[in-house]
């Protein structure tokens, strides 16, 4: 699973960083995108991605059911690339982050998506970059980290 966290970066800094990414796209990438679209490759690519992500989502939900039942609740995605997990109120996912990294698994704390930093007992799991074979192992590792913080 991927690791990413910003603990308390002020909004203006985030905005400036994002704007710097949007200022200019290289002409090489623009030409590559134009070629990709011009050859009609987008729709077949999207069909393939939908299937891959549907399989990954299903595997993640199965792993959550197996390893986190009774310990957490989670959303059932109807679209998108994420599952939102809610842990007991006493679990702080910011505090859990370092232990998760040491356990070779990490997730984004829900507090990273909250204006006032609440939702500290939640996390967002991305399944778009996971290999099917690794999902069970990763969620088992995450469950061990969570149990250590309950």
pLDDT value at residue 8: 47
Q: Is this structure's pTM higher than 0.75?
A: yes
pLDDT of residue 98: 87
Q: How far apart are CA 6 and CA 113, in angstroms?
A: 10
Of 3.10.20.310, 2.120.10.90, 3.90.1150.10, 3.20.20.80, the CATH number of 11-149 is 3.90.1150.10
CA-closest candidate to residue 125, choices 114, 115, 112: 112
pLDDT (0 to 100) of residue 11: 62
Q: What is the pLDDT of residue 7?
A: 43
The two tokens of residue 117 are 């930093």
Please report, in tens digits, the pLDDT of each residue of the chain (150 residues total).
444 444 444 567 777 766 666 677 778 888 999 999 999 999 999 999 999 999 999 999 999 999 999 999 999 999 899 999 999 999 999 999 889 888 888 788 998 988 887 899 999 999 998 888 899 999 999 999 999 887
DSSP secondary structure letters along 115-134: TTS--TTEEEEE-TT--HHH
- Provide the token pair at 84: 């939102």
- Over residues 74-115, the pLDDT tens digits come to 999 998 999 999 999 999 999 998 898 888 887 889 989 888
pLDDT at 4: 40
């Amino acid at each position: 699973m991927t690791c990413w966290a910003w603990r308390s970066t002020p909004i203006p800094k985030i905005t400036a960083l994002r704007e710097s990414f949007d200022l200019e796209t290289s002409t090489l990438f623009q030409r590559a995108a134009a070629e990709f679209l011009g050859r009609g490759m987008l729709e077949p690519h999207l069909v393939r991605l939908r299937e891959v992500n549907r399989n990954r989502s299903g595997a993640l939900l199965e792993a959550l059911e197996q390893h986190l039942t009774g310990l957490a609740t989670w959303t059932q995605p109807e679209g998108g690339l994420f599952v939102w997990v809610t842990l007991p109120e006493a679990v702080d996912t910011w505090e859990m982050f370092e232990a998760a990294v040491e356990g070779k698994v990490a997730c984004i704390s829900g507090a990273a998506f909250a204006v006032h930093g609440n939702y500290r007992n939640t996390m967002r799991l991305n399944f778009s970059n996971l290999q099917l074979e690794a999902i069970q192992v990763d969620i088992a590792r995450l469950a061990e980290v969570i149990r250590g913080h309950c």
